[in-house]
Structure 1
Amino acid sequence: MIISSTGSAVEVALIENGRLVEIHKQKATDQFTVGDVFIGKVKRVSAPMNAAFVDIGHKKDAFLHYTDLGPRVRSLQKFYGSVAGKKLQTANLTEFKMEPEIVKTGKIDEVLKRKQTVITQVLKEPISTKGPRLSCEITIPGRYIVITPFNQTVAVSKKISTSEERKRLLVLVESIRPPNFGVIVRTAAQGKGVGDLLEEVDLLMAKWEEIYEAAKTAEAPAKLLSEVDKTTGLLRDLLTADFSKIVVDDKALFESARKYVSDISGANRANIVQLHKGSKPIFDAHGVTKQIKSSFGKTASLPSGSYVVIEHTEAMHTIDVNSGNKMPSQNQAEAVFKVNMECAEEIARQLRLRDIGGLIVIDFIDMRDAEHRKQLVAIMRKAMKNDRAQHTVLPLSKFGLMQITRQRVRPEVNITTAEKCPTCNGTGKVNATILLTDDIERDLNFIMESRPKAKLKLKVHPFIAAYLKRGMPSMQMKWYLKYYRWPQIVQDNDFPVTSFKFYDGDDEEIKLK
């Protein structure tokens, strides 16, 4: 995890096996975070939509659907009425008398009225023209458990696979569960003892106490409880024994992250948190900037030469898989399967990296082999296993299309990867020049394999030629040591900075696209 802090924002990059898989940004001025608890006022009740629009202080009224009220919403309403009316003198629910549950098929106007005040929690951040989405099922998450007031249920994460451990945690949590509070046991609780879990129950109950105290005097719209900041939230949700390094460039954030890791994983694990001290920006020093440039944009290229085209429409995202012009001609079925398999893993990374939600339709290259089609679905599901967003992957349709639905919680991450063209002085746009040497090396590698004895000439702008020849060893020398062939570099002042061409010994252009 690489954490970059400026005065106005904190950016967090998550890297797995050297590849960027998630990027998060939180501005200091952000009003809303998923998990924040608000006291809001119902502005309008819509019977046809079976939903209410609630004012929680955002420029757009928040959306609260009947299905998000939760079965115990009447108990929550009674709690708030008792707190605001000074009838309930404690946040403890031991003596609290629960109200009957609402039915699943009920109507919103049977539960909420216009101008009514309600306690809600942000379920989804504002996206596009929509306001935040709300829920009345309040959850207070911790590292090992999540508590849910007005509930009696104890549930254990399905990712804890052994039945003995599940039973142990069920019995343990049931013995420490506060009255009228449900508990969800998270995967991180596996192997933890009663002391760890009891300590976290006390911590989460203190947060419930905060809601109680704030609700006494709050006037809608007002925030009752803030979710932790993005950095701490990600550490809470993601930190496992697999983490090898957390690098931070801010002293205060470093101390905070180090203390958090020490508290939840022990003092010996706190050493994985490091303070960045180099002169380069932290994202540049760890290659994050370059990966961002290469990972966003309409087209995402892969080392083999294949690429995927990602486009957004109002209804869905569409992704087209292309092999490029470098696919070997022999054994076409295997070659197509290999390209589809490579692109499936990249698509899973792109969905997570860009946080693409809603309906996604992928047009893979057609495969006739039923076994290959079946394996491709399994590969996609495996590639998306680490994705925390809820998702469903459907088998390939008879037209070779794969449909995926993925939970949309926050706005899609969209980073511009174009820059002003130095040739036309900004009247057009080209792919980011930071990727030019990657493109040259990729094409050079293909030419060296496909034409092992041909003489080779690379024609580029003088700026690029100087870059390729500078240093000891230069990039040109590295190519020689790798391929045992010396590609001649020719300067051409008429070439755009972002263009390059390969020629053979007869000065015939080698076209790869």
Structure 2
Amino acid sequence: MSNELVINSTEKGERIALLQNKRLLEYHVESSNQSFTVGDIYLGTVKKLVAGLNAAFVDVGYEKDAFLHYLDLGPKINSLNQYTKDVIAKRANTGSLKDVRIEPDIDKQGKIDKVLTKGQPILVQIVKEPISTKGPRLSCDISIAGRYIVLVPFGDSVNLSKKITERQERQRLQRLMSSIKPPNFGVIVRTVAQGHDVDELNRDLQNCLDKWEQGMKLLRDARPRERIIGEMNRTSSILRDMLNESFDSITLDSKEVYEDTKSFIRTIAPEKENIVKLYSGKTKIFEQFGLEKQIKSLFGRSVSLPGGGYLIVEHTEALHVIDVNSGNKSNSEEDQEATALSVNIEAAKEIARQLRLRDMGGIIVVDFIDMKKAENRKTVYETMREVMRSERSKFTILPLSKFGLMQITRQRVRPELNVVTRETCPTCNGTGNIQASILVTDSIESHLDYILTKQNERAVSIVLHPYLHAYFTKGFISEQMRWLFKYKTWVTLIPDSAIGITEFKFHNRFGEEMELVG
């Protein structure tokens, strides 16, 4: 199983695609002005205490105050609050917690107004990004994620991922981390730490400690609403969490992002540095990898299944609903029950992919095709559990009900990704009337003649729909070749399925888009 990461840099930020065996598995859009990312640590101010909710609203600089529940304060909140005051008052000079007095844990059944006061500064971490009309969700149980470990200030225990099941390995990691962790810091050992030696784990631990140290230096002179420790960008976090021996390619089209990514890989996995490649082709990188077509086909309301069935995906404020349909599935199976089982198993695999792809969270209800046999319903349930095993977000799956409904909850920490797949016609702007599409080739040739003969341009390139690209390039003596004979210059044609069939763009030799006349 091969994993590839393809990153397209634009003026608005990065588009990140994770491919598994050439199929799109995850798609992220990271805006350059994006803030309040999961993992960011801010210096907030308590604005309001709400006894009825046993929660506080905290100002971290977002247009709406962020929400902090009592259960998200963490048992060591008193230690964190006292340390925050000491750092701001410059009584603590380093990020070391060696000499810090750890306060007793707070009561799990306590009240928030006994712990916090209105107007006090508080160190908080984003655990859920702003979604819809809600502000960010916060926690005071601070943690700093590394590649192999998660550092927990004011803790003292060493906990291991439940996915590490081998007894000897658990004992080795427990003993190793207990010997190298600093005082008053807890550690959570991640699954990927299995089999790695003390040098690698210690280097990761030191990186997390350095990040904490730098954050505490900023905290000394920080003002309310300032970010103290920033989570790494989405590209780096994906690599940190997922980079393993199955990764065989990371392709980027930006020199700057390429250098940053290569530097990061050199830090966390030097042996993988050579898989980072800078794309320099003339065709857009997503077009080259066939991603534009996949994105448009996978984010629509209807999603096709390989065997002929299809899914209907509907999103509401409260939950997501997925309906499974057999479509034109052939009846090669013995009976209706067998057909339903076959389609449902196919659907379960695609639904698991869709949850990751769209980053759907909250409650998901799946209406599978009705099956009469209990063993078939159990098979579909087990299939869904198996294909969700690689899921990084926390999730719960319930068996099919007697109505054929499956309920899934999936942790939602950022807004669901919604790609618009229905487009307003670029030529008619939704009116329904366009210039006769048969004339588009004449229009291109007219503009080309004007540019090459009247403006004396050379090294011109045209971005156009793949159908038009085929029209101009196919044949023994293609139209593109005729242009070479006529104008004595080669015209580069670049297919782009992201634009409409009646659209086209001319670029000069510097790659700048040319303004067309008439």
- 2 CA distance for matches of 1:93 and 1:34? 25
In the other structure, the counterpart of 2:298 is: 295
**Alignment match of 1:220 (pick from 209, 212, 224):** 224
Please say if 1:317 is aligned against 2:300.
no
1:277 aligns with 2:280: yes
Equivalent residue, structure 2, for 1:131: 135
- Using the TM superposition, give the Cα deviation of residue 423 of structure 1 relative to its aligned residue in structure 2, in angstroms: 10
- Identity rate, percent: 50
**Which amino acid in the other structure matches residue 176 of structure 2?**
L
Could you list the per-position Cα deviations for residues 282-305 of structure 1 after superposition, in whole angstroms to 9, with x for gaps in the alignment? 111101111000001211112322
Structure 1 residue 56 and structure 2 residue 56: aligned? no
Contact 1:56 1:221 in 2 (8 A): yes
Change (3 A) 1:467 1:50: same
Residues 450-486 of structure 1 deviation map (CA, whole Å, 9 limit, x = unaligned): xxxxxxxxxxxxx98997999479xxxxxxxxxxxxx
Q: Partner of 2:243 in structure 1?
A: 239
Contact conserved, 2:164 with 2:170, CA < 8 A, in 1?
Answer: yes
Question: Does the CA-based 8 Å contact 1:56-1:62 persist in structure 2?
Answer: yes
Partner of 2:194: 190
Following superposition, the deviation at residue 428 of structure 1 comes to 6.5
Q: How does 1:90-129 map to 2 (within 5 A)?
A: 90-129=94-133
Matched, 1:142 2:146: yes
Equivalent in the alignment of 2:270: 266
Cα 1:422–1:111, aligned 2, differ >3 Å: closer, same or farther? closer
Distance 1:465 1:260, change over 3 A: closer
Show CA shifts across 1:381-435 (max 9, x none). Answer: 1111121110001000111100000000100000011123589862479xxxxxx
Provide the C-alpha distance between the structure 1 equivalents of 2:428 and 2:372, rounded to a whole number of angstroms: 47
**Is 2:360 the partner of 1:347?**
no
List aligned pairs for 1:470-489, cutoff 5 A: 471=474
In structure 1, list runs of 5 or more residues that go unmatched.
Answer: 430-462, 474-496, 499-513
1: CA distance between counterparts of 2:353 and 2:159? Answer: 30
Q: Give 1:153 deviation, angstroms.
A: 1.2
Residue 94 of structure 2 contacts residue 217 of structure 2 at CA under 8 Å; is this kept in 1?
no
Q: Secondary structure at the match of 2:156?
A: coil
The answer as to 2:168 corresponding to 1:164 is: yes
Aligned equivalents of 2:344, 2:99: Cα separation in 1: 59
Matches within 5 A, 1:417-456: 417-421=421-425, 426-427=430-431
Structure 1 residues 281 and 465: alpha-carbon distance in aligned structure 2, compared to 1, 3 A threshold: closer
Q: Is the 8 A contact 1:420 1:428 kept in 2?
A: no
Q: Is the 8 A contact 1:354 1:413 kept in 2?
A: yes
The AA in structure 2 aligned to 1:319 is I
Q: 2:183 — aligned with what?
A: 179
**Distance (Å, rounded) in 2 between the aligned partners of 1:204 and 1:428:** 57
Q: Which runs of 5+ in 2 are unaligned?
A: 434-465, 477-500, 503-518
Instruction: Determine if contact 1:37/1:121 at 8 Å carries over to the other structure.
Output: yes
Residue 476 of structure 1: aligned partner: none
In the other structure, the counterpart of 2:39 is 35
* Cα distance between partner residues in 2 of 1:242 and 1:428: 48
Q: How far did 1:194 drift? A: 1.1
How far 1:20 sits from its partner (Å)?
A: 0.7
| Residue aligning to 1:44 | 48
- Look up the equivalent residue of 2:14 and give its one-letter code: V
Q: CA deviation at 1:7?
A: 2.9
Return the alpha-carbon distance in structure 2 between the equivalents of residues 469 and 253 of structure 1. 35
Q: d(CA) in 2 for partners of 1:152 and 1:115?
A: 30
Tell me, in whole angstroms, the C-alpha distance in 1 between the residues paired with 2:426 and 2:97.
67
1:258 offset after TM fit, Å?
Answer: 2.1
Q: Give the 3 Å change call, closer, same or farther, for CA 87–469 of structure 1 in structure 2.
A: closer
Query: What is the distance in 2 between the residues matched to 1:276 and 1:342?
Result: 35
The 1:368–1:85 alpha-carbon spacing in structure 2 relative to 1, beyond 3 Å, is same
Cα separation, 2, equivalents of 1:357 and 1:190: 29
Deviates more, 1:253-262 or 1:147-156: 253-262
Classify the secondary structure of the residue corresponding to 1:92: coil
Distance 1:245 1:428 in 2: 44
1:419 match: secondary structure: coil
1:342-491 superposed matches below 5 A? 342-421=346-425, 426-427=430-431, 471=474
Deviations 1:282-335 (A, max 9, x none): 111101111000001211112322111111122111111000133317422111
Aligned mates of 1:186, 1:22 — CA distance in 2: 21
3-state SS of paired residue (1:404): strand
The residue number in structure 1 matching 2:448 is none
Once the two structures are superposed, residues 189-244 of structure 1 have per-residue CA deviations (whole angstroms, 9 ceiling, x without a partner) of 11111111112222111111112111211121211111111111111111111111
Q: Which amino acid aligns with 2:283?
A: K
Shift of 1:105: 1.3
Matched residue count: 441
CA gap of 1:211–1:262, structure 2 versus 1, over 3 A, is closer
Find the aligned partners of 2:58 and 2:51 in 1 and give their Cα distance. Answer: 14
CA RMSD of aligned residues (A): 2.3
When residues 292 and 465 of structure 1 are mapped into structure 2, their CA distance, relative to the original with a 3 A threshold, is closer
Q: Are 1:14 and 2:18 an aligned pair?
A: yes
Kindly provide the amino acid, as one letter, of the partner of residue 273 in structure 1: V
Q: Which letter maps to 2:275?
A: I
| Offset of residue 140 of structure 1 | 0.7
